[in-house]
Homo-oligomer: A and B are copies of this chain.
Amino acid sequence: MKHLKLSAAALALLAGPALAQDTTVIGVSIPAATHGWAGGMNFHAQEAIDRLEEVYPELDFVLATASDPAKQVSDIEDMVATRGISALVVLPFESEPLTGPVAAVADQGVWVTVVDRGLSQEGIEDLYVAGDNPGFGRVSGEYMVDKMPDGGDIVVLRGIPTTIDNERVEGFEAAIEGSGINVLAMEHGNWNRDDSFTVMQDFLSKYPEIDAVWASDDDMAVGVLGAIEAAGRDDIQFVLGGAGMKEMIQRVSEGDTMVPADVTYPPSMIATAIELTAVGMTSPTPVSGQFIIGSVLVTQDNADDFYFPDSPF
């Protein structure tokens, strides 16, 4: 990694056409906005680039979005060949097909920052930025305990069966252990609205009295809320989703009692990754390592900080 020794401010004073050749190029390669979270991630990547191009005149960014792994590999190879990138920020479409190509880029001396989805082989990237799945579950469970100090009966919707889902659920279970919260049932809603609508319909028919739902994801929460409304049930006090979807944050902000809180797993973590990479390129500040972005509880008090009206998510 090449550290540029001039500070951003010093370069800003010098800035002019003569410096055009001295820019450092950072490539950003991410999946296209095929679903909600990815849409938010695309939005925050562009926002971060716009912001950082103003903060650091000596940096230039190239952003490419890919709809499949092959396109992402070719995007990255193109960034190296034609743009001479000094750093690559990549959120792999899939781990396996990207591992070899990203390793090849790192071998050429390009700084590599990997976001969210790890590569299949350890030690390739200089910096890894990811969400905190056990923490996501823990913060959700702690909120449930706070909200129901006298305990209660809840149902839980799980995501697609994966390590991510297991870590979240284990974190949740550890947090509610010893509280009076009783989990009536857990089923996989697969991070999908329609699946979750069906799962919740089933829960509603099985259990005449449910105090709350840990939907564990905002898309699943939308399905759950739809099923509750369709059934006309008024025993359920609230539904806790997660991720930080715009519509849910808005409901939290407005004081909707059915959606009193949310837990982040922010698509804006791409901005953190781009920011740290920019810092590494422009200063001697160490930015290699592993940054696990914490899951934060969003309530009416702080919801405005997590609401991005222009984001699709």
Binding site for B on A (CB under 8 A): 1-3, 7-9, 48, 51, 54-55, 126-127, 132, 264, 266, 268-269, 271-272, 275-276, 279, 283-294, 296, 302, 305-306, 308
Contacts of A288 in B (CB 8 A): 293-294, 296
- Quick one: closest B residue to A301, CB to CB? B109
**Once the chains bind, are B285 and A268 in contact (CB under 8 Å)?**
yes
- Decide: A272 and B286 in contact? CB cutoff 8 A: yes
- CB-defined contacts of A51 to chain B, threshold 8 Å: 7-9, 283
A268 to B279, CA, bound (A): 13
Q: How far, in Å, is A175 (CB) from chain B's closest CB?
A: 11
Alpha-carbon distance between A9 and B269 when the two chains are bound, in angstroms: 21
Which chain B residues border A268 with CB–CB below 8 Å? 284-286
Complex interface: chain B residues within 8 A of A306 (CB): 284
If A1-B302, A289-B291, A305-B1 touch, whether A9 touches B54 (CB-CB below 8 Å) is yes
Bound-complex Cα distance A54 to B292 (A) = 28
A-B contact pairs, 14 of them (CB 8 A): A7-B55, A9-B51, A51-B283, A268-B284, A271-B286, A272-B279, A275-B285, A284-B305, A287-B293, A288-B294, A288-B296, A289-B293, A290-B291, A291-B291
Bound complex: CA of A293 vs CA of B287, how far in Å? 7
4 A-B pairs with least C-beta separation: A9-B54, A289-B294, A288-B294, A291-B291
Bound complex: CA A51 to CA B11 (Å): 12
